[in-house]
Every structure is written in structure tokens, then in C-alpha cells.
Amino acid sequence: MKTTIFTHDTVASAAKLLQAGELVSFPTETVYGLGADATNVDAVKKVYVAKGRPSDNPLIVTVADPETVAKFAQVTPAAEKLMAKFWPGPLTIILPIIPGALDMAVTGGLQTAAFREPDNDATRDLIRLAGTPIVGPSANLSGKPSPTTAQHVLHDMDGRIAGILDDGPCRVGVESTVIDMSGDVPAILRPGAVDEAMLEPIVGPVATDKHKVGAKETPKAPGMKYKHYAPEAQVIIVDHPEQFPAAIAWAKAQGYDFGVLATDAILTAHAQGLPQYSLGKDLTSATRDLFAGLRYFDLHPDVLVVLAQAFADDGFGAAYMNRLGKSAGGQHFTEA
């Protein structure tokens, strides 16, 4: 299959492919998604095949307006408030479905489903022109970092999908916050750019599912149980900027090739002449560029270890640390 690149100008052709049951990757403010007509079971099944993803992992139903959600789910007043406040934007809302309104291939057999309206005009036009909501997992091969550019998508999906709608690099860089509104207490199942402090004024106290890979409890978002964002190199988290000299000395002493994934200040101070990828200047740029950095080191197979910068694990930092923690399999640098 030839994978065609579309732009906002040619979005109507991309919409026709979706209507024909083909897969088209779409841009969002978070990461690129892998789109298929959410009401076409055969199209949805192709998504799992293209990603190499276990089919028990439910998909997000991506919409172009909040009104569409009521066709598929029971929209509570609290959910309505969230949509009014944060949509279009990086918040995915889990709601009880109207029985029979969505196929098992979308819900993974659950009585709930995830909904999101992304903040991207090209994608909202794509959905409107296709005339149907689209399922939208991230457009990476299962286990790889989520794609934040059309080039990343092409790298993983060339020949596996019909098209990619290219709208440049993603602004946020990590996937949306997932909030479960189907139970008694709203629960954050995945941290993202919309954090607890932004949600609580709207819906009251929220619970946070601090699931870590390898923990024994069953995670509430099925996708959180798989090893994610795993680059070829071993990622080691350096908790504090002042630990970089010791971490670099340790890696040199081990004798293998290693790289540094950190903000400019750290690279300039400590990593001259070493393989490196810049996370820009602060937490916002670091979150935006994290997945691109992990993918960069995948293109340099000689690099066996990546020393990666940590940020404080709260607020927006929780989203960054959640993804970095998974890519590292929980490994932190510790001084002997």
C-alpha cells in the first residue's frame, strides 16, 4: 500500500479514504493519531493490525464537536462542564456508553468509552468531511514512542496505512489527560497537559491512578499496562541537574557509548562532544520534544544508554515524568 501525505488543503481526499474504510493518520495538539471510521468495524480492526496492538486495548472516539458524544454515550452534567471548559483540547473523557452504540472493537468490550475533541483545525475538518467520528490511538507501532511529527508516523507506518494528514509538529507532545467520569468519583487514569489543579475547580475532588509499569493492581486504563515508549537504548533518569557530572562520569567508566537527553543549560555545561538531543529550555519544551528525542536515539543504534533529565513530578511535570518513567522502565541513576 502506498502511504499518501495530505495537508489541510487536500483534507477532502483524506476524508474520502476514511469513508472507504482506510486508515489515515491525523495531527492533534498532543501526538499524531491513527484514524479509522469509528462506526466501521472492519476499518477499526485494521488499526490494531497496523499498530501491532493487542485488541483488548480500547480506542478513543475522536469527535469534531461535543454534541456528537451524546449519540454514543450518557453525557453527565459534570462531563458537559469539562467539554465546555477544555474542548477542543488535550482531555479525553470516559463515559458510560449507550448499549449497542459502539462495537466491541472500539470499546474492548467495556461498557464505557473514551471521547476527545482535539485542538487541530485540519483534523476537525477531516472528521466533519468524513461525516463520522474516528478512532484515534497514537499512530506509532505498539511499544514505540508516540509520533509528534508526520515524519515519525511515516517511519512507523509507511506502507501500512493509506494516508497521513500533515500539519507540522505537535504543540503539547504527550498524549491527552484521560479522566474517567463513569464512576462515583472522577479519576485521572493518565496524566497530561490538563492537570488535577485545572480539573478540580470544575468537577470537585479527583482521584489519581498512579499506576506504574509492573505494579500488581490492574490499571483502570488498559493501555497503561503495556511497556510503552521503549527505545532501543536503556534510558536512565537523572533526577537532579547537579547529578549529571556524576552520571556522565559513571557512564564513561562503564565504557559504552551513551547519549544525553536534557535541556540546553545542562547540555552546554556537561555534555560537550557527547551524542545528545536538546529538550529546549524548560518543562514545556521538554514535554514537546521528549518523544522526538527518544526516537532520535533509536536512529543511533551505537548509543546503548541515554541519560535523561527529570523534572518535578507534579502538575504538568507529572505528564512528562509518567512518559519518561515508562521509557526508562523505572531506572534512575544512583550515586554509588
Site residues (vs ligand TXA, CB under 6 A): 28, 30-31, 33, 57-60, 92, 94, 110, 112-114, 116, 118, 136-138, 175-176, 178, 189-190, 220-224
- Is 112 labeled as ligand-binding? yes
How far, CA to CA in Å, does 236 sit from each of 20, 169, 250, 302? 44, 26, 12, 16
Contact in structure between 235 and 326 (CB atoms under 8 Å): no
Least distance from ligand TXA to the Cβ atom of residue 90, Å: 6
DSSP H or E stretch at residue 104: helix 104-107
- Is 146 labeled as ligand-binding? yes
Pick 95 or 267: Cβ nearer ligand TXA: 95
* Partner whose footprint covers residue 203, from Mg ion, ligand TXA, none (CB < 5 to 8 Å by kind): none
Q: Which of 319, 326, 330 is nearest to 143 (CA)?
A: 326
Least distance from ligand TXA to the Cβ atom of residue 254, Å: 34
Pick 116 or 270: Cβ nearer ligand TXA: 116
- Is 62 labeled as ligand-binding? no
What order do you get walking across the sheet with 234-238 strand by strand?
A: 234-238, 305-309, 258-262, 276-278
Q: Residue written as cell 551513551?
A: 258
Distance (Å, rounded) from C-alpha 167 to C-alpha 211? 33
How far, CA to CA in Å, does 2 sit from each of 33, 161, 163, 198, 333? 18, 8, 8, 43, 44
Pick 218 or 272: Cβ nearer ligand TXA: 218
Contact in structure between 172 and 288 (CB atoms under 8 Å): yes
Least distance from Mg ion to the Cβ atom of residue 89, Å: 18
Least distance from ligand TXA to the Cβ atom of residue 202, Å: 19
Q: Which of 228, 225, 216 is nearest to 326 (CA)?
A: 228
Least distance from Mg ion to the Cβ atom of residue 138, Å: 3
Pick 111 or 272: Cβ nearer ligand TXA: 111
Sequence-ordered list of residues with C-beta below 8 angstroms from that of 157, at least 6 positions apart, any chain:
3, 25, 34, 50, 139, 141, 164
Q: Taking CB under 5 A as the criterion, which residues in 121-140 touch Mg ion?
A: 138
Q: Cα–chain-centroid distance for residue 202?
A: 24
Pick 222 or 241: Cβ nearer ligand TXA: 222
* Partner whose footprint covers residue 27, from ligand TXA, Mg ion, none (CB < 5 to 8 Å by kind): none
* Partner whose footprint covers residue 278, from ligand TXA, Mg ion, none (CB < 5 to 8 Å by kind): none
Q: Would you list which residues are annotated within the binding site for L-threonine?
A: 30, 116, 176
Positions at the binding site for ATP: 53, 57, 112, 138, 146, 190, 229
